[in-house]
Structure 1
Amino acid sequence: MKPSLQLKMGQQLTMTPQLQQAIRLLQLSTLDLQQEIQEVLESNPMLESEESVEEPPASGDEGEQPVDFNEKAEQPPEPEEPQWADSIPNDLPVDSGWDDVYSSLPAATDEEHDPFARSRANESLQDYLEWQLNLTPMTDRDRLMGLAVIEAINNDGYLTHSLEEIYLSLQEQVEELAFEELQVMQRRILHFDPVGCASANLKECLEVQLNQLPQETHFLKEARLLIQNHLQALGSRDYAQIMRRTRLKEHQLREALSLVQSLNPRPGSEIGQADTEYVTPDISVTKVRDRWAVDQLQEARWFLKNLQSRNETLLKVAGKIVEFQKDFLEQGEQAMKPLVLADIAQAVDMHESTISRVTTQKYMHTPRGVFELKYFFSSHVSTATGGECSSTAIRALIKKLVSDENPKKPLSDNKIAGLLGDQGIKVARRTIAKYRESMNIPPSNERKQLI
């Protein structure tokens, strides 16, 4: 075969630095964009923030004048704190491990009267417990046992190893160690703040917290009875069995449940993790082609152009989303229409990947609240009349049905599917279960309540 030369014509997209910057700016959230702008202002002397300019730029050659930066990114309004943020659950979860309970013990409102307040926000649970251990008068022998117990505590406050295993691990460090000594040390740590840390199980954790309450606390005896003998029945919400075995009246059981629910099944979660500190360089130095000084005027112009392009693209995409979902803005979630990325991409003549970047971590303030742009996209389900209903609308209907149900006889997934079918919406039971779980709505047997 003889070598030969051939001429071919074709098109190829080259990822220039300008294009790379445009794509990166497009996918940044508003807060990240604000940080990016600040970094560019600090690194490029040809850009200045308009509000920081004290004197007008001197006249002269255009290439030597700084470029005024007139774009100012707005920060999204801070989202309102959910109304349920500080509420206490009205029901016990289904399993005895209390996996879904996040209630907490009352916290001190004045740090001057709380000797442990300084550690809660910035130290790990183990550091916090060790700090208290070091403030407790004890021998070096006892301190070794205390450290061994604390090291075995997880972030929820429970022991990851049994006392027997901890005892065996201490045999070589502590001479003539009696198992009873380790038990005493565990009991001491149980009463550290937060009360209940170092518990072996849920029952022990709740009992310790109950024992901290004044003896005159109403229904303390009944709450202690529930935890000691009927914890599994509480988890399965078998209230009829509990009343039959304890001979408690309905109002007595309700008050005892309320007291139990005021306890914290995960006491260790009260202590926050240490905050990570980040360092932002004040000066950035780069070397290009053996030169340290470079002209950044062109880079400044690119940045301003890409920033303007980002804003125009975001406005165009948001406008089409509002056009598609105006029924939602006027009527609420139940009027949300099915919408996919391809619909908006076709409407604004852009690629789906571009729409994905534009709608990620971008938020829209509406009369109904602040929503991420991705929230307005959802798949569709066919209706009996041949139309379509969005998955968001179906979730809203499920939420409404559950909120209006009889707490003594909650709706099953099959029943919800039947009720939606009566409205012309064909949804399988397994789809109802999937949507319900995505909204953190428990199944019907867990939603059963006493009235």
Structure 2
Amino acid sequence: MLKQFLQFKLSQKLSPQQIQLMKLIQLPTQAFEQRLKQELEENPALESGKEQTDEYDDDFDNTDDYEDDNETINTDDINVDDYLSDDDVPDYRTQANNYSSDDEEKTMPYAAGISFTQHLINQLNTFRLTDDEFDIAEFLVGSIDESGYIRRELSDIMDDLAFTQNVYTTEEDIEKVLRIVHQLDPAGVGARNLQECLSIQLHRKEKRPDVELAIDIIDNAFEKFTKKHYKKLLQKFDITEQQLKDAIDEIEHLNPKPGGSYSGNNRMVEHVVPDFAIKIVDGELELTLNGRNAPELHVSREYNNMLKGYKESKDKSKSQKDAVMFIKQKLDAAKWFIDAIKQRQQTLFVTMSAIMHYQKEYFLTGDERKLRPMILKDIADEIDMDVSTVSRVTNSKYVDTPYGTKLIKEFFSESMTNDQGEEVSTREIKKILETVIEDENKRKPLTDEALAKILKEKGYPIARRTVAKYREQLDIPVARLRKKI
């Protein structure tokens, strides 16, 4: 049975222009440049560079009244087709601007190279292998991950060889070929675990007493070594502390991820382009927006003149009306995009300026202990914008400071109250915790409980589990694993 009833509903709808602006604000400099390039290619009514005159502005603002359905059709006065060229190279791509050589944009070339897997296969060609052995070796090399390890059981590899390569073999034969793979460079590649990886590297070294001892430790006492049971190692191998220290030094200089050392593995290199720059001038902070975020754009005079010519003509054809609708659409899109770019610049600058003044003490000194507790809402309230807008501005963007290039989100942190009732940043506590751990006696590293006690004495009453959480966020291991002899 059908029923009819009234329902009130409150919903928020965003215009295409608002959506476009939000997407632009979120983009960091490099991604923004790509978006700008895409828009210039897609919209011929939008041009980059310096415009010679601004006469078109008044004409553009009065183009809303170009339609009149009652007018007679006559195509003799204006041929819109002359303006709408299908030329593959639009005018804005061939314009030259008199910029100085300093303004020339330079791009970073990427060197072409072979993949990590291909690098290993090329080395296999230097070994004398049967067809089956080469197939097995090639399959093993293809199973090596980015770190340089084979993390699959030999039984699984044997099954896959049978099903996918039609190669029937045994685990013993695969093990034999694997030992050949272990001879490839970089040293340690093809290992099945960390112990085997370190052992392969040590066996390739020149045989010295400290290397021989290091091999003995890795091959026969790996668990004691990983747990840093140094007293048990001294007893087991009947050696002095200095001998153990030399052996451990050899092990610490090995590469636990041999795959990561291959420079030609064709990984895309990320280049951080700061979106802002902060300088100290005469004791005051000075903020600048990266010039690449402020391109010079203008609406095409040629397209604007098309509308002006159509408006002034007395007789209009149906095809001319269709064409002028296209022109009007492109001009509107160009004007919206230019407005969005200006609003993006304004939003970025205002937001970063508020962050800079909020963290003024830090930017003047570079001391992370001077960072104030700051959340997105603090800045949003300061500039009278939405929290989501601040989040978009700070997302994936960097600022060049006198102390290095920093991710803007790093300046945000939660707060806690110290023993004097003052609000302090958790970043400040983490920095102090890091300093305390750096200065500890590595023979007897401080436990989380001891660290909590020291922080309490310094005026930061936090629980042991909170210390553990901060330590993990700083990527610092537990006390036992920080022990040294």
Q: TM-score, normalised by structure 1?
A: 0.74
User: Structure 1 residues 293, 68: CA separation in 2 closer, same or farther (over 3 Å shift)?
Assistant: farther
Of 466, 475, 482, the match for 1:431: 466
2:431 matched to 1:396? yes
Distance (whole Å) between structure 1 residues aligned to residue 203 and residue 24 of structure 2: 57
SS at match of 1:442: coil
Distance (whole Å) between structure 1 residues aligned to residue 222 and residue 480 of structure 2: 17
Deviation at 1:436, TM superposition (A): 0.9
The answer for the alignment partner of 1:91 in structure 2 is none
When structure 1 is superposed on structure 2, of 321-330 and 232-241 the one drifting more is: 321-330
Deviation at 1:62, TM superposition (A): 4.7
Distance (whole Å) between structure 1 residues aligned to residue 132 and residue 340 of structure 2: 66
SS at match of 1:48: strand
The answer for the alignment partner of 1:312 in structure 2 is 346
SS at match of 2:466: helix
User: Structure 1 residues 234, 349: CA separation in 2 closer, same or farther (over 3 Å shift)?
Assistant: same
SS at match of 1:381: strand
User: Structure 1 residues 382, 276: CA separation in 2 closer, same or farther (over 3 Å shift)?
Assistant: closer
What are the within-5 Å matches in structure 2 for residues 359-370 of structure 1?
A: 359-370=394-405
Q: Give unmatched runs, 5+ long, in structure 1.
A: 75-117, 278-288
Distance (whole Å) between structure 2 residues aligned to residue 168 and residue 62 of structure 1: 75
Distance (whole Å) between structure 1 residues aligned to residue 342 and residue 472 of structure 2: 41
The answer for the alignment partner of 1:258 in structure 2 is 249
Distance (whole Å) between structure 1 residues aligned to residue 4 and residue 120 of structure 2: 78
User: Structure 1 residues 322, 409: CA separation in 2 closer, same or farther (over 3 Å shift)?
Assistant: same
Of 151, 176, 195, the match for 1:184: 176
The answer for the alignment partner of 1:207 in structure 2 is 199
User: Structure 1 residues 47, 131: CA separation in 2 closer, same or farther (over 3 Å shift)?
Assistant: same
Letter in 1 for 2:131: D
Deviation at 1:375, TM superposition (A): 1.7
Distance (whole Å) between structure 2 residues aligned to residue 364 and residue 234 of structure 1: 43
Kept after mapping to 1: 8 A contact 2:151/2:193:
no
Letter in 2 for 1:432: V
RMSD after superposition: 3.8
User: Structure 1 residues 290, 154: CA separation in 2 closer, same or farther (over 3 Å shift)?
Assistant: farther
What are the within-5 Å matches in structure 2 for residues 30-429 of structure 1?
A: 30-50=29-49, 56=52, 62-63=59-60, 122-125=114-117, 127-163=118-154, 166=157, 173=166, 180-215=172-207, 217=208, 219-271=210-262, 274-275=266-267, 293-295=326-328, 296-331=330-365, 332-429=367-464
Distance (whole Å) between structure 1 residues aligned to residue 359 and residue 54 of structure 2: 50
Kept after mapping to 2: 8 A contact 1:44/1:300:
yes
Distance (whole Å) between structure 2 residues aligned to residue 190 and residue 242 of structure 1: 28
Deviation at 1:68, TM superposition (A): 12
Distance (whole Å) between structure 2 residues aligned to residue 5 and residue 206 of structure 1: 74
User: Structure 1 residues 152, 310: CA separation in 2 closer, same or farther (over 3 Å shift)?
Assistant: closer
Letter in 2 for 1:314: L
The answer for the alignment partner of 2:75 in structure 1 is none
1:138-176 C-alpha deviation (Å, 9 max, x unpaired): 22132233234334444433333444554566679567x
User: Structure 1 residues 264, 299: CA separation in 2 closer, same or farther (over 3 Å shift)?
Assistant: same
Deviation at 1:315, TM superposition (A): 1.6
Q: TM-score, normalised by structure 2?
A: 0.69
1:18-40 C-alpha deviation (Å, 9 max, x unpaired): 22211111111122112212222
The answer for the alignment partner of 1:88 in structure 2 is none
User: Structure 1 residues 253, 23: CA separation in 2 closer, same or farther (over 3 Å shift)?
Assistant: same
Q: Report the count of equivalent residues.
A: 382
SS at match of 2:255: coil
User: Structure 1 residues 167, 371: CA separation in 2 closer, same or farther (over 3 Å shift)?
Assistant: closer
SS at match of 2:441: coil
SS at match of 2:443: coil
Identity among equivalent positions (%) equals 30
Distance (whole Å) between structure 1 residues aligned to residue 254 and residue 336 of structure 2: 58
Higher RCO structure (Cα 8 Å, ≥6 apart)? 2
The answer for the alignment partner of 1:282 in structure 2 is none
Structure whose alpha-carbon radius of gyration is higher: 2
Kept after mapping to 2: 8 A contact 1:337/1:390:
yes
User: Structure 1 residues 169, 19: CA separation in 2 closer, same or farther (over 3 Å shift)?
Assistant: closer
Kept after mapping to 2: 8 A contact 1:384/1:425:
yes
Distance (whole Å) between structure 1 residues aligned to residue 377 and residue 400 of structure 2: 23
Kept after mapping to 2: 8 A contact 1:325/1:337:
yes
Kept after mapping to 2: 8 A contact 1:26/1:357:
yes
Q: Give unmatched runs, 5+ long, in structure 2.
A: 61-82, 84-90, 98-102, 104-110, 270-320
When structure 1 is superposed on structure 2, of 260-269 and 240-249 the one drifting more is: 260-269
Distance (whole Å) between structure 1 residues aligned to residue 154 and residue 16 of structure 2: 61
Distance (whole Å) between structure 2 residues aligned to residue 344 and residue 373 of structure 1: 13
2:22 matched to 1:23? yes
